[in-house]
Amino acid sequence: MSIRALIVDDSSVMRKIVERSLRQAGIDLSKVFEAGNGADALVVLQENQVDLILCDINMPVMDGLEFIKQLPGVANAKDVPVVMITTEGSESHVVQALSCGARGYIRKPFTPQQVKEHVVPVLGGKS
One-letter amino acid of 87: T
What's the whole-number mean pLDDT along residues 83-109?
A: 84
The pLDDT value given to residue 91: 73
Q: Can you give the CATH number for the domain in which 114 is found?
A: 3.40.50.2300
Q: How confident is the model at residue 96 (pLDDT cuts 50, 70, 90)?
A: confident
Phi, psi dihedrals of residue 2, rounded to the nearest 5°: -80, 140
Q: Is the pLDDT of residue 127 over 60?
A: no
Give strand pairing partners of 8: 35, 55
| Count of structural domains, the chain | 1
| pLDDT of residue 93 exceeding 80 | no
**38 membership: H or E segment, kind and range:** helix 38-47
From the CB of residue 124, how many other CB atoms can be counted at a distance below 10 Å?
Answer: 9
pTM over 0.95: no
CA distance 47 to 40: 11
Q: Coil, strand or helix: which one is 89?
A: coil
Q: In Å, how far from its chain's centre is CA 7?
A: 5
Determine the structural domain holding residue 111 and report its residue range.
3-123
Mean pLDDT of 91-116: 87
State mean pLDDT over 44-66. Answer: 94
- pLDDT for 70 beyond 80: yes
Residue 1, pLDDT > 70, answer no
Identify the top-confidence range among 31-35, 72-76, 104-108: 31-35
Starting at the edge strand that comes first in sequence, how are the strands of the sheet with 82-86 ordered? 29-35, 3-8, 52-56, 82-86, 104-107
Alpha helices, DSSP H only, in the chain? 12-24, 38-47, 64-70, 91-99, 112-123
